[in-house]
Structure 1
Amino acid sequence: MTKELRFAGTGGQGLILAAIIYAEAALNEGHRVLQSQSYGPESRGGASKADCIISDTEIDYPKVYLADFLLAMSQKAYDKYKSDVKKGAVILFDSTYVEAEKREENVVYFSAPISKTVRDKIGKELASNIAALGTISVVYPLISEETLLNAILNRVPKATIELNKSAFDIGKQLGKEILEAKGSIEFVF
């Protein structure tokens, strides 16, 4: 099994940290992992990305060419990366900031108001990246929820542990609501 994941949004949304956490969780489950990120002018507000390749075998090519999974947390990121996915890929987008009217064929779309829900329940969007990881753990369960949460708690500052646990739980609930609305979907990992 080899899966290519892209975490995309606007610089400052914490998506590089989310990808690092996801990669660490995959390592903790015994997978081979390659994680890379885009720095540059994107870090000041343009579309930015961080990629993870997770495999049970040697990783031959160090870049995500066509993603199996795309998280899009901003419109610019969605517009830029929505076509760079495989047939049968999953795109999860934050409906707070993304309108996915133009959709690719043979792709599964999940929509959730991730940032709005975090803002409404916690008071600020700061942990939207962690909530997105919670949603991913439900709608694209490549890594177990427990392993992912442990990776989060090992990476975030100790003073923010409860905030990040809450954000992760908010994301998991959004994921459950997505699946209830969509019905049963099976993915081959």
Structure 2
Amino acid sequence: MAMQKFLLTGTGGQGLILAAIMLAEAGIYAGQNVAQSQSYGPEARGGASRAEVIIGDEDIYYPKVERPDFVLTLSQEAYKKYGLHLDEEAILIVDDTQVTEVKPRSKNFYSLPITKAVRAHFGSEQSANVLALGVVASISGYLSMDNVLQSVKHRAPKGTTEQNIKALEIGWKMGLKARENQNNKHSQNEGDES
């Protein structure tokens, strides 16, 4: 795939802007062209936030994501705003801890316990953004773990590097497992149709 477009959505304070910056920087480490932008709702913390990342080996002529390939939603509000209007081919990843009312239109739908996993491992929701980054990056299959890890080490706030590395590893494994389960499900469905 020559280019992938990511939309990371949630509420202000969840750290999705930082996760998007890490994703974009991982693309740079991979030698790709990258564009990254973000916007907050008027409330900033607690209001809607969205961050966009485009990574590819082609020139990027427009830095905004109009038709995302991947959408991550970490809040019910963000899901309603961005997750309901996707192309059928888009990959939708929701945090099932925060997003409980879902009517997926996409056949590529992942509902994963992102916040729950972070709480279980670290006792708080800090690093949920990096765990989510690991999920998104591993499901996309476009960047290597090494590129994302390099970015997390560079961008993690002082004193949080070890926890964020662990969160990335947990998210990466969660994403790989989810992708494998999805591929097996698609294979079974194709087998049932023949």
TM-score w.r.t. length of structure 1: 0.90
Q: 2:48, 2:78 within 8 Å by CA — same for their partners in 1?
A: yes
Q: 1:134, 1:171 within 8 Å by CA — same for their partners in 2?
A: yes
Query: 1:164 maps to which residue?
Result: 164
Deviation of 1:4 after TM superposition, in Å, equals 1.2
SS in 2 for 1:86: coil
SS in 1 for 2:151: helix
Q: 1:72, 1:78 within 8 Å by CA — same for their partners in 2?
A: yes
Separation in structure 2 between the aligned mates of residue 180 and residue 2 of structure 1, nearest angstrom: 22
Separation in structure 1 between the aligned mates of residue 55 and residue 128 of structure 2, nearest angstrom: 23
Deviation of 1:2 after TM superposition, in Å, equals 2.1
Query: 2:3 maps to which residue?
Result: 2
Show the 5 A alignment for 1:19-30: 19-30=20-31
Deviation of 1:100 after TM superposition, in Å, equals 4.8
Query: 2:192 maps to which residue?
Result: none
SS in 1 for 2:97: coil
Show the 5 A alignment for 1:77-156: 77-104=78-105, 106-156=106-156
Q: What amino acid is aligned across from residue 169 of structure 1 in structure 2?
A: E
Deviation of 1:29 after TM superposition, in Å, equals 0.9
Question: Structure 1 residues 181 and 14 mapped into 2: Cα distance closer, same or farther (>3 Å)?
Answer: same
Separation in structure 1 between the aligned mates of residue 60 and residue 95 of structure 2, nearest angstrom: 30
Query: 1:74 maps to which residue?
Result: 75
Deviation of 1:99 after TM superposition, in Å, equals 2.3
Q: 2:84, 2:103 within 8 Å by CA — same for their partners in 1?
A: no
Query: 1:51 maps to which residue?
Result: 52
Deviation of 1:55 after TM superposition, in Å, equals 2.2
Could you tell me the percent identity over the aligned residues?
Answer: 42
Q: How many residues end up aligned between the 2 structures?
A: 185
Q: What amino acid is aligned across from residue 167 of structure 1 in structure 2?
A: A
Q: 1:67, 1:84 within 8 Å by CA — same for their partners in 2?
A: no
Q: What amino acid is aligned across from residue 116 of structure 2 in structure 1?
A: K
Question: Structure 1 residues 180 and 65 mapped into 2: Cα distance closer, same or farther (>3 Å)?
Answer: closer
CA RMSD of superposed structures (Å) = 1.8
Separation in structure 1 between the aligned mates of residue 63 and residue 43 of structure 2, nearest angstrom: 21
Q: Deviations over 1:76-104 (max 9, x none)?
A: 11110014433311011110101252221
Deviation of 1:12 after TM superposition, in Å, equals 0.3
Matched, 1:173 2:188: no
Q: Which runs of 4+ in 1 moved over 2 A?
A: 83-87, 179-186
Q: What amino acid is aligned across from residue 101 of structure 1 in structure 2?
A: V
Q: 1:66, 1:84 within 8 Å by CA — same for their partners in 2?
A: no
Separation in structure 2 between the aligned mates of residue 3 and residue 100 of structure 1, nearest angstrom: 27
Deviation of 1:3 after TM superposition, in Å, equals 1.7
Separation in structure 2 between the aligned mates of residue 80 and residue 98 of structure 1, nearest angstrom: 12
TM-score w.r.t. length of structure 2: 0.88
Q: 1:70, 1:90 within 8 Å by CA — same for their partners in 2?
A: yes
Find the structure with the greater CA-based Rg.
Answer: 2
Separation in structure 2 between the aligned mates of residue 153 and residue 172 of structure 1, nearest angstrom: 15
